[in-house]
Chains A and B, each alone.
Chain A
Amino acid sequence: MTMEPNNIENQFRNQLNEREIKPSENAWDRLDAMLTVAEKPKRSYGWLYIAASFLGFLLVATVFFSQTEEVIDVPRKEMVHENTPGEKENTVVPSAKEQQKTDADVVSQKGTAVAVEQKQSKHNTSSIKTVTKEALPVIASENNQNQIAAHSIINQATEQKVAQKPAYINVDELLASVDKPGKPGKIFNQKSGVKVNPNTLLSRVDGELELTFREKVLNTVNKNYNTVKVVLSNRNNQ
């Protein structure tokens, strides 16, 4: 015996091959519907691509224009603050610091200032870096009391002024430290907490400088655009 199909299998094959089973009535309708669905997308492909590219262009355009508007808005505010002296300077001071204006904070910050004072008297020749670092908390406490003075220090960012400052505050802070003594641990904690602020302040100043440059450019562009617009409208009117 081999594996070749034998008589009975031949019979099977012949009979099965002759068999026909009529499909149900709606079978063609289903196939017809499937064919229609399959054909449709091919026809509308071209239009789809055009529509999609148009939508994409619109999206890019809106994103671009909304971005330029933002850039114009933000720096304008800060320009105003820089030009007007004194009164509006509290916006430059981080709002988080404003919220932390509790009595304890003021006291402890003053304490740090005293500590700085002592250090300076002991080590007059200590490096400028440490002086600025430790004096800046003083500036932070200054912001609470005298924000104009503090801000001038930040703007100029010179070590000499920073060094002069503690001498000016000296009396008040000494009094405060005498009034509430004996919290050395807290002083150090606050010191570390406040130390972060100078960096952020400085970075903000840097950011402002950059923004002002951008602002200048945008302003000139705007001015030129407006003059062109006016000229064009005049010409059109004539």
Chain B
Amino acid sequence: MKVINLHQEEQEIIELAVANNRHAQQKIYTKFSPKMLSICRQYIKDIQQAEDVMITAFMKVFMNLKNFEHKGSFEGWIRRIMVNESISFIRAQKKVSFLEDEFYKEDGFNNIESDFSVDDIQFLIDGLPDGYRMIFNLYAIEGYKHKEIATMLGINEGTSKSQLSHARSILQQQINKLKNYDNGTE
């Protein structure tokens, strides 16, 4: 019952927001903005820029709210807009070029159990070049398939795979460094 009530409440707020009710729009913003800023921050190192992108993406959310079909989750819908906006921001800022090499190892990380803090994780991801970070985020964090990533970025599926492989190997090196550093200090 509670879930149904929540769902109804959300639907009402969305309808109000479609009619440009500023109070309803603010409610949606307040509810989702901390999570959405976190997502934008995954792709964009600079927090200020990430916030700018988030605001632009929220603009798009409200402008296109009438097109939202209440099929999937509302949060997922907003999240997709955030991801797309972040990607187009990075691509507009720097000409991210994806090397069209198709060499990739069918190889993940060593299954290290680790207790990284979220800041450590962000630090590791920040260390990746823009293109690698983008694909790593899309694949490993957002759970997109290589085919979807390829269409989103206009690249070959193989390129997406090879970029992920490169990203993983860089991350592996960084993790090993961190591990060694930790071991050294301990």
Contacts and interface: CB of A to CB of B under 8 A. Distances in A.
Interface of A: 1-9, 11-13, 15-24, 27-28, 30-32, 34-35, 38-39
Contacts of A6: 108-109, 111
Contacts of A5: 108, 139-140, 143
A28 to B, nearest CB: 6
Contacts of A9: 108-109, 140-141
A31 B55 contact: yes
Contacts of B170: none
Interface in B119-168: 121-122, 125, 139-141, 143, 146, 161, 164-165
Q: Is the interface of A mostly helix, strand, loop or mixed?
A: helix
14 contacts: A2-B106, A2-B108, A3-B106, A3-B165, A12-B116, A15-B116, A16-B38, A21-B41, A22-B34, A23-B54, A27-B33, A27-B54, A28-B29, A39-B20
Categorize the interface residue count of chain B.
35 or more
Contact of A13 (B33, B113, B122, B141): B141
Contact of A16 (B42, B55, B63, B107): B42
Interface string B68-97: 000000000000000000000000000000
Contacts of B22: 32, 35
B121 A21 contact: no
Nearest to B115: A11
Contacts of B122: 16
Nearest to A42: B20
Given A1-B107, A2-B106, A31 B29 contact: yes
B51 A24 contact: yes
Interface in B19-66: 20, 22, 25-26, 29-30, 33-35, 37-38, 41-42, 47, 51, 54-55, 58-59, 62-63
Contacts of B30: 28
Contacts of B185: none
A12 B143 CA distance: 12
Contact of A21 (B38, B58, B125, B164): B38
A8 B114 contact: yes
A5 B107 CA distance: 10
Contacts of A3: 106, 108, 146, 161, 164-165
